[in-house]
Structure formats: C-alpha cells, structure tokens
Amino acid sequence: MKNFKLINTISGWVAFAAAAIVYIITLEPTASFWDCPEFITVAAKLEVGHPPGSPLHALIGHFFSLFASDKTQIAYCVNVATAIYSALTILFLFWTITYFARKVVAAKGEELTTGRAIAVLGAGFVGAWAFMFSDSFWWSAEEAEVYGFSTLCTAVVIWAMCKWEEVSDEPYAERWIILLAYVMGLSIGVHILNLLAIPALVLIYYFKKYQVNKKGLAIAMLVSIAILAGLLYGLMPSYFWLAGYVELFFVNTLSMPFNSGLLAYIAISAIALGWALYETRAQKNDTRAKIAFLVAIALSGVPFLGTRLWLGIVILAATALLFFYFKKALSNHAMHLIVTVVTMLLIGYSTFAVIVIRSNATPPMDQNGPDNVFSLMSYLSRDQYGDQPSLVYGPLYTAEYKWKPAEGGTCLPEEKIGAPRYAKKPKANPNDKDQYIITGYKKDIVYDDAFCTLFPRMYSQQPSHVQAYKEWAGEPENTVDYEPCGQQQSAQAPSFIQNIGFFFSYQVNFMYWRYFMWNFSGRQNDMQSMGEVDRGNWITGINFIDNLMVGDQSNLPDELSQNKGHNRYFLLPLLLGLLGLFYLVYRGKEGMHAFWIILVLFFMMGIAIVIYLNQTPAQPRERDYAYLGSFYAFAIWIGLGVLAIYRFLEKRFNAKISAVVASILGLIIPGILCAQNWDDHDRSGRYTCRDFGKNYLVGLPPNSIIFTCGDNDTFPLWYCNEVEQFRPDVRVCNLSYLQTDWYIDQMKRQAYTSAPLPISWDASQYMSGSHEVARVYDTKDSTKVDLKTAMSFVLSKDPRTKDQFGQDIFPTSTVLLPVDKQSVLNNKVVPAHLADKVLPVMEMKVGSQITKSDLILMDILKTNNWKRPVYIAATVGNSMYNVRLSDYFQREGIVNRIVPVKMEEGTNTNTAAMYDNLMHKYKWGGIQNSKVYLDENIVRMVSMFRMQFAGLAEALILENKKDSALKVLDYGMKVVPPTTLPHDYFTMNMGRFYYELGKTAKGDEIMNAVAKQSIKSLTWYAALTPKQMRSASERIQNNMATLSNLLYFADKYKRKQIVGQYSAQFQVFAKVFHMQ
C-alpha cells in the first residue's frame, strides 16, 4: 500500500479524536479528591505543591486555565488538559503499535499488501482503544493528576526511539535521540516514572546497531541500568548538590545574596557544556575536547552517584585514564552526542527553576519553601516523607537498635551522622546580611545486624504496619540473639522466607498483579481492599472461577452486585494480549526483538516499580495509577494479538477479508471495556469535591481559623479558598504541616483577606531542628501548669529544662489555659445560653510526648485570646494531635468549634448553627442523582453527612424541638437517599429517631430495609470458606452490630412485627459467626 504512511498518520489522529471526545465527555467538571485540588491550585496560581513538584505540569495547566470563562471553570480547563494529554498518549500508542506491527509482518523496505496494512491499522486501533478504555488509565485521564501526562511522556520517548530506528542510517537521525533526551528532561518536571523507559530505549538502539547475542544483550541491559542510575542518582540530585557548595561559598564567604551561588553555578555549568559542545563538534584538538567533555559531565553531576564526592572523583579519574591510554575509546562524535543529550536533559530539567522562582514570591501555598538550593534539595529528595531502608540490605520490622556506651554507665542508640542540613539564618532585622547556618545533620539509626537481612521488604515499625505484616506473613518465626549494652537478650524476627513471601504475596501479587487483572480480566468492585474477600479483588466474569476466588456470585449482597465498579471482561483482553506476546516469540528475529523491548518496558514500569517503592501494607488508597506504563506496554501486545488472529485466518481465507475480520474481532475487546467501565468512569455532573470543600467553609464566621489534617479535608478547601476565591478570609491550617518551619512561616503571613495566624514564636524558636518533640513530665503527683509557664519552660535554653539526652521536657500532663471571659462574650464565641458556663480556666490533658505542631496549636489558642473563631474539621482524629481538646468541641456540622465550655455528650451541639448549615448552606455535589457516579471515597464522605443528619436530629429531640428534628430527618433522606448510599448503621439511627418522633411508618420502612440488607449480606458471608470469612470479619461484625441495634430499638419502641420477623435470623447468624 503506497500511501500507508499517510493513512497511518490519519488513523492515529482518529484514535486521538475518539479518546479526546470520550475523556472530555466523562471527565469531572471540577476538582476531584486526593491531590487534584492541590494540582489545580498550583496550576491556576503557579504556586508550589507537594514534593518533589511537577513544574511542567503546572505550567501547561496554567496555560489551559487561561481559557476559563470564570474562576469556577478553571478546574474544568485543567482537567481538559489531562484529557488532552491522555488522548495524545493514545495517539502515540497507536503509532507505536503500528511500528512494531509493520516490523513483524513485512521485511524492511517491503511494501505492505492491502490485507497486511488493514491488519496493522486494526492492531493499532485495538491496542490503543483497549488502553483508552482500560480501568486505570481512563480514571487518570479525567482529573488534574500527573499520571496521564507522565504516561504521555513515556509514549513520546518510545515512539521517538522507534522513529530513530526507522531512519538510523540517515544523516541527522540522531535528532530523534536529542528530542528524546529533551522530552525525558521535561518529563522529570511531571514525574520521574518516565526514566524507567530507558532500558527499553537502549534495547532498541542495541538491536539496531549491534549483532545480537547473549553477552551483548547483557551488556546492553547493564549500560541501560548505568544510564538510569546516572540520571536518577547522579544528575538529578547531584547537580544541585554541587551548586550547594558554590552557593555556600558565595553567601557565607563572599557575603553575596541568597541564590547568587546557585545562579553562578548554573552559568558556569552552561559555559562548560557550551565549551564541550564546541570542542567535540569542531574536533580541532582531541585533548581539549576530552578535557571539556570531562568538565561538562562533572558539572552536570552525573558521576557523583548518591551525592558521593569520592565516587564522582573515582569515576572521572577512571574515565580520564581510559581516554588517555585508549585514545579511541570514545570518539569526538560520541562525546558530542553525550554532551548534547546531557545538555537537553538539563534544559528540560530547568523547569524546576519555576519552583524556586515562585517560592521566592512567597505564594500562599509554598510547600517546603524551596526558595534556595538547600531547601530545593530537600524538596526534590522528599525529605518530609522520611527515608526508607536500603533495598539491598536493611532492618526488618522487629529490629532493635545497636547500642553504644555513653557517659554515666548508660547506653545510647548508635547513629550514623550524615551531611549537615543548611537553612537560611533568621534575621533580627532586614538589614542583616544573608547567611546559611547548620540546623542539624542527617541522622540514621543503626540497627543490630541480627535483625537485618538482604532485600528487606517488611521494615516499617508503625503499629498498624506491624499488625498487617503479621496478617500477610504470619508471626515472626526466627529467634535471634543480640546484646544491647552487653546484656544477652533474644527476640523474634521474621525469617527470610517470610520476608520474600510478603514480597510476592503482598507487594507483587496484591499491589501489582491485582491491578493488572483489574484492567485486563475484571474488577470485583470499586471498594478499597486490604485483602478482604469482598473488596477490590480481580475477577474474570466467569462465575465458576470467581466463585472459587471471591465467593458465590449468584447471590451477592446489593452493595456488591449493584456496585458500578463491578466490571467483567471475561479474561478477553488478557488472552488477546498473551496471544500477541506469543505471536512475537514465533515471528523470527524482528518478532523477538519486539518481544524483548516490550517485555523490558512492561517489567520496568511494573515489577521494577514494585521493588523500588517497597510499599508498606494498609496504603491510604489504591495505587494502580503508578503502573500505567506497564499496562501501556501490555496494550501493545493486545494490539499485536490482532496480527495473530489475522495470520490464522489468512491461511484459510482472503487476506483482505481476514484482516477486516481480525480487526473486528479485536475491536470487541475495547467494546467490552467501554461498556463495562463507562458507568464507573463517567464523572460528568459530579461536584462533590468542590461542594464538600465549601461545606467546611460556608458556615464559619468571618476571619475564622480551621484546622485540618488529611488530603481530602485540606486540598479541597485550598482549592475553594484560592481558585474560586470562596471564603478567602478563612485560614485553613493543616496540623501535619504545622510541625515544619516553612509552614509556620506561611501561617504567619497574610493570605488574601485572611490575617496571619496569631503565633507568638519567632523564627529561631521554630526553625527546623528546634523543639521538634518534647517528653511530657508525668508523675502521679505532677502539678497542673498554666500554658504560659509550660511554654516558657519548653522554649528555655537552660540545661535544667532538658533531659539527660538534651531533649525538651514539657513540665506537666495537664496544662491550664486561662480564659478571658470578657473577650469570649465580646467576640460571641458561645451562644447566649452558654454564657454563664464559660470556664475561667480550660484544662487540657496531653499525651506522653508533645510535638512542635501541638505546641504551636496551643500557642495559637493562647495568643488568639478568642478574637478569631477557631475550628477543627470533624474528620481530624484525636491521634492527629496530643492535646485533648475534644472536651471543648461544639458541633456545628462537619466542623467543631473550640469553645471555653466543658461540653458533655448530647449537649455539645450548636443546633441553630448546625441546622442552618445542613438545611440551608451545605451543597451536595449532585449526590441526589443516582446517575452520578460516587466512588467509595465519596461514599464514605456521604456517610459522614448522613451521620451529621442523625446527630442533629438527636440533639434537636433532646432540646424538644421535634418539628425541626422531623424536617432534618426528612431532608437527610432526601439529599442522601438509599439510591445514592445504601442503608447503613446511620440510616438505622434515623429510623430510630423517626420512632422517637412518632413516625412509625417511616421508621418501619427504614428498619425493614436495613434489616433485609444486613440479612442478605450476612447470608452471603455465611457461605464463605473459613479463611474468606476471617478476611471479611469487620463487615460481618458491622452487619451484626447493625442488626443487633436495630432489634434493640425495635423492641424499645414496641415494633413487635420487626422483632418477630428478624430476631430468629439474628440468632442463627450469631451461631454461624460464633458471636453468642
């Protein structure tokens, strides 16, 4: 077919257009939960998001935001950007599939027959559209996250390398490699996942340029790993690490301004790269060219793996020796290409300048404050998230410290002291000169070797993780001996077999293959799984197989059978992909080359990420989005499966007809994926994130302060505050961030119309390394201490206020906060009927230790003196702070106001404010419409609102406001109907309150519905195997508790028919589940 190239190009754009239409139709019209509101805010205002940043994503998102007709449309425009990125991914996937398809169906230079051309194009459409409609990619394409853009970068570099392969023998073919390097540099400004495509790119180069053999293949893979390491552990961290030395010299020694050294280093490295490019291009002097090359590569940071100076010197010295003893080891042309590639990588990487520039502008969101090279290095290395142990050798979760002798006959944990941490010196006045000071050193606890192992996979010592390790791998099997402080002791430790077992069962199987099968076999439901039989597993859609894996599929509870995430593909995408894989294996040299390239991409974007992430159990959400590149690779095999069908048919029928039939049969796969996935990927009409974010803010008095803690009660509020400018007078303060100096700095600055937070500490008191945690002095006879005295004690530099290790001490377990009653009354902190209950002093219990965040929180309460209303989001658990404030919470909906009144259960609700919020002010994001898709995360939040309706009704009944209570119950059932959220424990409570109000018919309707649902669920659980039943024990207990309480209240309110109808069944289930 002579015009195949044109048809292939047009067909690719057709695939793009279809994807763009689908994604734009189904995307969320506003912000989504998790990181999306933050990314939209960053894009709209070019602010600084969470580490390690995605500046290119922000820049292009900002460009799309400029097309918004008003501020409420900005989120939609940024979401459209993701839809376009994702549609472009489908475009390049199509062209990549047709590239590999052409390679295996026709020899180089051979013109495709019409039949083969149709088959090749059919393969492109089938593979591209299968990926387009796949569960994980479709979901990522509809929201302002980075993974759609990151997958596009991967698609572009793979396609660019394929284009190079096609023209590699032509002049200027290397421009494709240079373009590829630039895109890869840019992609770091989106997500580093793209770098994992390097081994596949190296294989394309190797297969084209070298005679293939096992030794050569092994060397090629080692070279690819070396390149990957050079970028990931060399160039990316070490460029700024080297710049840090220059910055320190310019600022501390030469008394130059902050960032002068960084700018100087950028200029020096740019000159060095330019010199190297000139010398290696001009080829006038080989020695000068080699020196220029070494200088340029050194200044790029590539040789200094892991920011190790000695290693960089060794690598550079070895390279120099290689140059001068083997003069033809590296030609000028090769050096020129390497320097060009490194230059393009750095130019792409330069998007991170946006981070530093915007941080210096002190925007309201400036996470980690990366306004200088040292804070930027911390930002890029994600220091705030803590370190993971080495992937090669490290401790297991039962590990004990290695101890060393200390003064006074005591012992201290042994620490490995690392590099110093530099920060800007706080200035007493603006005229002080700029200077960096050391705030501490990187420290790593050294663990006893008896508890360490090769390839450690179970390392976290968080209690929740420890429990989960035991559930996945069993109780520790080994007994190990160790000697803390010379005392012989023994302890339990997991065996190496258990360690490897956890790797395969949890990290590989549960956290990768389960996601893989979601996309190509079927998905049980959209509920997050922790390993339960009834949540988030993969299925086939073939009942006799699924019955064995996840229980009887013929009588599923409604919450499972009616879940929109219940998607069945009948293994067809998986089988077609495997057919494509094996087809390549038997298609000669070109087929095997394609097989290895795709296999390496599949592995590096899948299992290699599993190994690198070393994930702990009990993740806060599903992580399938991390493996999109692996699913992308498998989609190539799906497309090539069409060629296998074509080859089978071609032997029996006309080639053209065979190609058409094979393509049509293949298109059944994306058709099934589209049909099954549409209802749980159509997010149109859903405004829950925006509206729920506004609900936190809408009822707050002017100039309020609200404390939050997690992604989903912080980022939506930031979005509403900043992008839509909704309640910009309210200051949202995240308690987990309040532990850091950079965030306290931001809270002390004006933000829009929100005044600075009333924090009395100066910068030197809260800078990093100062007062991070204090041990609470708690004895039976310890006295209560007022907050001002306790705070002065902690902040004191007197050694007598520290323990023997120099750690801060908080002098009491009960702190007193004197209350200015007049200020309370003047600022209307409490309703009029509580004025006489205002306490003269608030007593607050503290835990065994108190953090900087807790101290700043108490300082805000003290310094504020009730002038500004202070709230804590209802989603903030007590574990998020070590000061007991819940005794002083007054409920006003999904926010709790801190008031100087001792609140008791049942009387802690400001019913007037809460009624106004729930009945008039709160918006519901379209949840009343059963056609609007609500995922499990949103369902949990909707359940919280149902709980609020029930709680308000109870409070109104206690105040004898029964008419209002009835209105609340009716409205609650209207805005959160059973069609939106199936009946649950809180619905049962609403039925109970209907009884209390004399509305027995409504109460009976709810109680019957709840009972039938619980019984149906329990019937299904009772048929499970014992192992499956154990995994679902929490849901079984919830249903039993709901049914038990339902029968109790039915009996209490004399609903004999309900008691008689369900009590016998309850007793049967109690015996089955051993709960009697």
Q: What are phi and psi of 69, to 5 degrees?
A: -75, -30
What is the Cα–Cα distance from 689 to 939, expressed in whole angstroms? 12
Listed in order, strand segments (DSSP E) in 403-496 are 403-405, 411-413, 415-424, 436-445, 452-454, 478-482, 489-493
- 421 neighbors 442 (Cβ within 8 angstroms): yes
- Please indicate, yes or no, if residue 548 is contained in any of the structural domains: no
β-bridge mates for residue 436, sequence order: 424
- Please indicate, yes or no, if residue 50 is contained in any of the structural domains: no
Helices 236-248 and 260-282, packing angle to 10 deg: 120
* pLDDT confidence of residue 946: 94
For 230-263, write each residue's pLDDT tens digit: 999 999 999 999 999 999 999 999 999 999 999 9
Same domain, 911 and 936: no
- Please indicate, yes or no, if residue 865 is contained in any of the structural domains: yes
- Please indicate, yes or no, if residue 616 is contained in any of the structural domains: no
Same domain, 764 and 883: yes
- Please indicate, yes or no, if residue 282 is contained in any of the structural domains: yes
Same domain, 878 and 1027: no
User: Hey, what are 1023's tokens?
Assistant: 């048929």
Give how many domains the chain has, as a whole number: 4
* pLDDT confidence of residue 276: 97
For 658-688, write each residue's pLDDT tens digit: 999 999 999 999 999 999 999 999 999 999 9
What is the Cα–Cα distance from 740 to 476, expressed in whole angstroms? 36
Same domain, 409 and 288: no
- Please indicate, yes or no, if residue 444 is contained in any of the structural domains: yes
Q: CB neighbours of 731 closer than 8 A, spacing ≥ 6?
A: 703, 704, 705, 706, 747, 751, 754, 755, 757
* pLDDT confidence of residue 436: 97
Same domain, 240 and 312: yes
Helix (H) or strand (E) holding 814: strand 814-818
Same domain, 967 and 988: yes
Domain-terminating residue out of 380, 404, 425 = 380
Same domain, 303 and 315: yes
Same domain, 908 and 947: no
Same domain, 906 and 1014: no
Same domain, 356 and 437: no
Of 463, 485, 444, 471, nearest in space to 398 by CA: 463
CA 985 to mean position of chain CA atoms = 30
What is the Cα–Cα distance from 922 to 694, expressed in whole angstroms? 8
What is the dihedral angle through the alpha carbons of 1022, 1025, 1028, 1032, rounded to the nearest 10 degrees? Answer: 10
Question: 1011-1020: buried (b, 16+ CB within 10 Å) or exposed (e) per residue?
Answer: bebbbbbbbb
Residue ranges of the chain with per-residue pLDDT less than 50: none
Domain-terminating residue out of 333, 354, 380 = 380
Same domain, 445 and 459: yes
What is the Cα–Cα distance from 1062 to 1076, expressed in whole angstroms? 16
Domain-terminating residue out of 435, 470, 500 = 500
Same domain, 391 and 403: yes
What is the Cα–Cα distance from 208 to 169, expressed in whole angstroms? 10
- Please indicate, yes or no, if residue 727 is contained in any of the structural domains: yes
What is the Cα–Cα distance from 979 to 985, expressed in whole angstroms? 16
Of 600, 535, 540, nearest in space to 573 by CA: 540
pTM of the model: 0.95
User: Hey, what are 202's tokens?
Assistant: 């190296």
* pLDDT confidence of residue 781: 64
- 685 neighbors 5 (Cβ within 8 angstroms): no
Helix (H) or strand (E) holding 288: helix 286-300
- 191 neighbors 634 (Cβ within 8 angstroms): no
Domain that holds residue 846: 688-916
Burial class (CB in 10 A: 0-12, 13-18, 19+), 251: buried
- 366 neighbors 359 (Cβ within 8 angstroms): yes
- Please indicate, yes or no, if residue 273 is contained in any of the structural domains: yes
What is the Cα–Cα distance from 518 to 311, expressed in whole angstroms? 44
Burial class (CB in 10 A: 0-12, 13-18, 19+), 707: buried
User: CB under 8 Å, gap of 24 or more: what pairs does 1032-1041 form?
Assistant: 1032/532, 1032/533, 1032/534, 1034/532, 1035/532, 1035/534, 1036/1073, 1038/985, 1039/1014, 1040/1014, 1040/1066, 1040/1069, 1040/1070, 1040/1073, 1040/1075, 1041/985
